Amino acid sequence: MIRRLCFAALPLILLFSVYSSETAAATVLDLEREYHADQSGLHGAFDLPASDAYLDQQQRLGEDWRVRLDRFEFASLDPREKAEYLLLRSEVQGLLDETTRAKKRLAEIAPLLPFSTAIHELETARRHWGALDCQTAATKVADLASTIKQVREHLPKPDGKQVSAAVALRAAGTVHELQEVLKRWYSFYEGYRPDFAWWLKKPYEEAAKQLDEYAKYLREEIALVKGKDEDPLVGEPIGAEALAVGIRREWLPYTADELIVIGEREFAWCEEEMQKAAHEMKLGDDWKAAQARVKADYVPPGQQDELVARIAREATDFVKRRDLVTVPRLCEESWGLTMIAPETLKTIPYAAYNGRQMLVAYANSELKQDDKLMVMRGNNRHFTRLVIPHELIPGHHLQGYYASRGPERPFSTPFYLEGWALYWELRLWDLGWAQTPEDRIGMLFWRMTRSARVILTLKYHLGRMTPEEMVSFLIDRVGHEKLGARGEVRRFIRAEPLYQVGYLIGGRQILALHDEMTGSGKLSERQFHDAVLKQGAMPIELLRSALRGIPLPKDAQPAWRFAK
C-alpha cells in the first residue's frame, strides 16, 4: 500500500518525463525486437495455411513499418547504428517482397484448395471466442468432406499437364497443414462440450480421412513422390526477377550471372589444385583417381564418432595455439555427438551441426549394401577432416556460442551464418590444416562443392538447369557419390534460393574484410575474428560498415564489390 501511495504521489510531469526519456533512448536494436514481436504477434493471432487474409495483414504490417522507418531520425546515428537501421529496413522490404511472392504462389494452389475457407472460418471463430452451434458446425464439416472428394475426382491425371508436380507437392503440404488446423479445432471442443462429439465425431473423422487421402493423392499420384530413393527431384525455380530481389536483400551489388562467374572461377582453381595433389600422389593429372583413393580411406564401422572427436580436439588446439580467435572454455566443452538416422541420410548425407550437437554421418546396418558403401566413402577420413572444424570450432559451434550472448537481433543470413564457417575453410587451407596431399584432396572436394552450389542453384532458379543435370554435375565434375549428390540437390531445390550461395560468397566476403582489417597491422587475427563474432549476423557489407565505421547514408544501396 505504501508503494502504491508513493507512486501515485509522483508529479504527472515526472512520469511523463520518465516515459519520454525511455522512448527517446530507444535504439535500433529495440526497434528490431519490436518489429520481430509484431511479426510474432501477427503470426500467432492470424496465421493460417493458404490464407489471403493473413497475407493482407502481413502486407499492412510491412507497410506500416516502412512508413515508421522513413520517419526515423537517422542522421544522429553512429555507423554501427546506421548499419542496424539499414538491416531493419532491408528486412521490412524483404517481408513485403515475400508477401507479394506468397500471394502469387497461393493463387497457383488456390484452385486445388476450395475447402480451405471453411476450415479457416471454423478456426477463426474458435480463436476469437465465437459462439459454437454444434449442429451447424457438423453440417459445415460434412460439406467439407464432400467438397474434398469432388475436387479430387475432377483433378486431372498426371498426363493432363494441368497441374505441375511442384504445384501438386506444395498443395499436398498445405493440405496437411489444413488437416492439422482442423484437428486442433476439433481437439479444443472434444470432451469439453457435451454435445460436440455427438454431432461432430463422424463428420470430422470423414473430413480428416478425405484430407489425408487427398494429400497422399497429390503427392504420390500427381507429383509422383512416394518416399523412395528414385523419386523425382521436385522443386520450383523462382526466376530471374525474384532472384535479383533476393540478392539485393543480401546487400550484394552483383547480378546472378556475376555470382555464377565467381563460382566458376573458384571451381577452375580447385580443379588445378586437384591435379597438383594427384601429381604428389603419383597419379599424374588424374585427380579423379586420386579422389577415389581418398574416398576409400574410411574408418571401420563403429569408429566414426572417435574420428570426429579426435579431429574436433585437433582443430580447437590448432586455432588456440595460433591465437586466431577466443575460444571460451564452456564453448570448447559443451558440444556432443549424435548419429544421423538412415532416413535422414537421404537429405543430410554428410556430417552436420544442430543445437550444440555434431551430427555424425556413417553407414547404418539398415541401409542397402550399395548405400552403406556410398555413405562410408562420402564420409572418409580426409573429407571429414574439414567438415569438423566447419561445424564445430572455429565454425558453427563457436559462432553459436557468441550469437547466444551477443545482440538479440531477430534476423539471420546464410552469408554470415554459413559464410563464417566457409571462411574458416579458406583460412585453414592457407594456414596448412592439410597435412598430406590426401588431406588437400578432401579440402578441395568441399571447396568444389561450395563452388558448384553457387553455379547450380543460381542456374536452376534461372531456369537453365534441371535437378537431374545438377545431380550429374555433382557426380561427374565434383566426385559425389550418387546418394550424396541426390541428397545435396534435394536440399538445394527445397531450401531458400540463396542459402547455398551464401557459403562460398559469404566466406569470400569475410575473407576480403579480413584482408582489409588485418593488413598493415590494423587488427590482430584474434581481434578481427572476435569482432566479427560479437557484431553478430547481418549481410557482410553492413557488417563491414559497422566494424570499419563507414557512415552509410539513409538511402544506401549495395555497393561493395569484394571480388577481385
Q: How confident is the model at residue 157 (pLDDT cuts 50, 70, 90)?
A: low
Which ranges in 220-353 belong to alpha helices (H)? 240-249, 256-280, 287-295, 304-321, 329-333
Tell me: do 463 and 520 sit in the same domain. Answer: yes
* The pLDDT of residue 161 is above 90: no
Does residue 275 share a domain with residue 206?
no
Average pLDDT over residues 33-55: 93
AA identity, residue 117:
T
Residue 2 lies in a domain: no
pLDDT of residue 7: 30
For residue range 394-422, list pLDDT tens digits in order.
999 999 999 999 887 888 899 999 999 99
Q: What's the total number of domains in the chain? A: 3
Residues 260 and 137 in one domain: no
Range 155-182 burial, b when 16+ CB lie within 10 A, else e: beeeeeeebebebbbbbbebbbebbebb
The proportion of the chain whose per-residue pLDDT surpasses 70, expressed as a percent, equals 94
**Residue 63: is it exposed, middle or buried by C-beta count within 10 angstroms (0-12/13-18/19+)?**
middle
Same domain, 467 and 425: yes
Question: Which of 30-34, 376-380, 517-521 is predicted most confidently?
Answer: 30-34
Distance CA(438)–CA(280), nearest Å, equals 9
- Does one domain contain both 417 and 513? yes
> Could you tell me if residue 561 is inside a domain?
no
On whether both 77 and 103 belong to a single domain, the answer is yes
Cα separation, 393 vs 391, in Å, equals 7
pLDDT at 495: 84
The reply to whether 406 and 478 lie within a common domain is yes
The answer to whether residue 366 sits within a structural domain is: yes
Percent of the chain with pLDDT over 90: 73
Mean pLDDT of 345-360: 81
Report the pLDDT value the prediction gives residue 11, as an integer from 0 to 100.
Answer: 33
Give the pLDDT confidence score for residue 156 in this predicted structure: 64
Per-residue pLDDT tens over the stretch 256-310: 999 999 999 999 999 999 999 999 999 999 999 999 999 999 989 889 889 999 9
Please say whether the beta carbons of 375 and 418 come within 8 A.
no
Express each pLDDT in 435-470 by its tens digit.
999 999 999 999 999 999 999 999 999 999 999 999
pLDDT tens for each residue of 504-534? 999 999 999 999 999 877 899 999 999 999 9
Using alpha carbons only, what angle is made at residue 430 by residues 425 and 431, rounded to the nearest 5 degrees? 95
- 198 and 342 assigned to the same domain: no
261 & 410 share domain? yes
Report the half-sphere exposure of 214 (CA within 13 A, side-chain side).
Answer: 32
Name which of 564, 560, 514 is nearest 539 in CA terms: 560
Of the candidates 407, 345, 399, the one whose C-alpha atom is nearest the C-alpha of residue 372 is 345
In a domain, 541, yes or no: yes
- The pLDDT value given to residue 13: 31
What domain range includes position 182? 113-222
Compute CA distances 464 → 144, 186, 510, whole Å. Answer: 41, 46, 29
Which pLDDT tens digit goes with each residue over 214-225?
999 999 999 888
7 found inside a domain: no
Q: Please indicate, yes or no, whether residues 467 and 356 belong to a single structural domain of this protein.
A: yes
Mean pLDDT along residues 223-243: 86
Instruction: Confirm whether 200 is domain-assigned.
Output: yes
Q: Establish if 562 belongs to a structural domain.
A: no
The pLDDT confidence band at residue 4, using thresholds 50, 70 and 90, is very low
Three cell numbers, residue 87: 538491416
Phi, psi of 339, deg, nearest 5: -80, 140
Q: How confident is the model at residue 364 (pLDDT cuts 50, 70, 90)?
A: confident
Decide if 461 contacts 243 (C-beta within 8 A).
yes
Same structural domain, 84 and 135: no
* Within a domain: 18: no
Q: What is the pLDDT of residue 519?
A: 80
Q: How confident is the model at residue 84 (pLDDT cuts 50, 70, 90)?
A: very high
Which pLDDT belongs to residue 474?
Answer: 96
Tell me: pLDDT of 46 over 50: yes
| Model pLDDT for residues 299-351, shown as the tens digit of each residue | 898 898 899 999 999 999 999 999 999 999 999 999 998 888 887 777 777 88
Averaged pLDDT score across all residues of the chain: 90
Strand order in the sheet with 352-354: 336-339, 357-360, 352-354
| Cis amide linkage into residue 394, ω under 30° from 0 | yes
Q: Is the pLDDT of residue 3 over 60?
A: no
Lowest pLDDT segment from 43-52, 113-122, 482-491: 482-491
Are 496 and 349 within one domain?
A: yes
CB atoms near residue 490 (< 10 Å): 21
Position 26 scores a pLDDT of 63
85-101 tens-digit pLDDT = 999 999 999 999 999 99
Given 50, 75, 109, the domain boundary residue is: 109
